[in-house]
């Protein structure tokens, strides 16, 4: 591999008192330990995407950033048994930029740990021709899983994150090579 894989971590929650930064920062520390990736963060709170899906300069910049990425991880909460509207808007503002690229999920929430949101998101990403990574990181009762420094002792989550990153690197490498030989026919 000549250049590191470009991984964009998408922080989905835009609520004012969100817990997302704690989970996202923990995952970013895990991901940055992986030498395969050059990592960026797209925080949807700071990314002005229009809900009416119109084309703006911000959308064009966002789409260019997606096009340059080899892989994605969405850090998502679960609201009312579903994913945040901001994340659906983020998917819908682009089309071809997502295609033939892998995406993993780090979810958090109450009893379900965000897993219902992830299962719904798998349907969305399949429709836009992405490859959903099977391994998922999930934090049940998330606010109880992290200490004051944003660290967790949740061994299952740590193990899942390591496996997710290995699978993501494999898929990103494989799909980048395939896209370089022939454009995706979608």
Q: What pLDDT, on the 0 to 100 scale, is given for residue 2?
A: 75
Residue 1 has pLDDT above 80, yes or no: no
Mean pLDDT estimate for the chain = 96
Chain segment 93-130, per-residue pLDDT in tens = 999 999 999 999 999 999 999 999 999 999 999 999 99
Phi, then psi, of 82 in degrees rounded to 5 = -145, 180
Domains and CATH numbers, the chain: 5-181 (3.40.50.360)
| pTM as predicted | 0.96
d(CA 11, CA 23): 9
Percent of all residues in the chain with a pLDDT value above 70, rounded to a whole number:
99
Contact 116, 86 (CB under 8 A): no
Residue 186 has pLDDT above 90, yes or no: no
Percent of all residues in the chain with a pLDDT value above 90, rounded to a whole number:
97
| CA dihedral over 72, 77, 80, 84, signed as positive or negative | negative
| CA dihedral over 49, 55, 58, 63, signed as positive or negative | positive
Residue 36 has pLDDT above 60, yes or no: yes
Closest CA to 139 of 112, 113, 105: 113
């Amino acid at each position: 591999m000549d250049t590191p894989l470009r991984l964009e971590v998408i922080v989905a929650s835009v609520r004012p008192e969100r817990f997302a930064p704690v989970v996202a920062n923990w995952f970013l520390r895990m991901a940055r330990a992986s030498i395969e990736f050059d990592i960026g963060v797209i925080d949807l709170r700071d990314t002005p995407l229009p809900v009416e899906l119109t084309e703006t300069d911000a959308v064009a910049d966002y789409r260019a950033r997606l096009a340059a990425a080899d892989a994605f991880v969405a850090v998502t909460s679960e609201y009312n048994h579903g994913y945040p509207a901001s994340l659906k808007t983020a998917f819908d503002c682009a089309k071809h930029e997502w295609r033939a690229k892998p995406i993993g999920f780090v979810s958090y929430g109450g009893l379900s740990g965000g897993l219902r949101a992830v299962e719904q998101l798998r349907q969305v990403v399949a429709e836009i021709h992405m490859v959903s990574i099977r391994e998922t990181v999930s934090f049940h009762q998330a606010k109880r899983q992290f200490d004051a420094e944003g660290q967790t002792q949740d061994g299952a989550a740590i193990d899942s994150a390591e496996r997710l990153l290995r699978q993501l690197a494999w898929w990103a490498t494989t799909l980048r090579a395939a896209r370089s030989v022939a454009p995706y026919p979608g």
